[in-house]
Amino acid sequence: MSTLGVETEALVRHGNGRYSDALICHAIGGYVGRVGAIPDSVWGDFPWTPAWRQQWHEAVADRIKEAGYAHERLQDAGQTLIQAAADYAHSDVRVAADFSAISTSPLMAYVNVLENPRSVTAHPGGSLRLDGGSVDGRAPVPAPDDTPEGHALNQAAHDGSLNTTEMWPGDTDLSKTPTGILRAEMASEGRTKLYEFLNKWSGQLAQAEKIVGM
């Protein structure tokens, strides 16, 4: 590769920015899908919950689709700029995606699993080459549990199991089961007050919903 001029470096800089943004958008789609995967069992049995549950699933799917569209458009823009730089400079141009803006974000777990390759090479008069094979975007994402954000993400994934019954040896304190420990950790003041409110007013809420629906 030869030394690039100022104008070519500008093309490469903008192209690399758009390519990096594209991979981040792909990661955002995976993150939204994980965070938005609320188990059907936790929605309750109110008359209006089926509609709410369906609308939530549709909203999450729409956000994932939007992230996918953004990924495709930004990737096209980035690759076009990088190829233009190679053609203009008559030299190979290789760029690597920059994730410094999200280096401490939970998104990095999705970048690490979903995004490969992270670099591209453009040849003058040729076509862009991705440096490495592509990973299946449906691969499971092992969210690390060593940060508050990652821990909260893992808690959300297990939230739907709070009301299930575990098989456990007799004469054992059920508060020490995995579900019991999770329930105790998630027993925040806000969650407790929400359960108290639902227990107290669920009958009236159901009746009000029935009247409104008549």
Q: Read off the pLDDT of each residue in 172-186 and give the average, rounded to a whole number.
A: 68
Is the pTM of the predicted complex or chain greater than 0.75?
no
Nearest C-alpha neighbor of 44 from the set 33, 55, 52: 52
Predicted confidence band at 139 (pLDDT cuts at 50, 70, 90)? very low
| Residues recorded for the chain | 214
- Is the pLDDT reported for residue 58 higher than 80? yes
Confidence of residue 20 (pLDDT cuts 50, 70, 90): very high
φ and ψ of 93, to 5 deg:
-130, 125
Starting at the edge strand that comes first in sequence, how are the strands of the sheet with 119-122 ordered? 93-96, 119-122, 128-130
Q: How far apart are CA 136 and CA 130, in angstroms?
A: 15
Rounded CA separation 44/68 (Å): 31
Please determine, for residue 156, whether its predicted confidence score (pLDDT) is greater than 60.
yes
Q: Is the pLDDT of residue 2 over 70?
A: no
Answer with the residue of higher pLDDT: 123 or 42: 123
Going from N- to C-terminal start, the domains of the chain cover: 6-143, 162-213
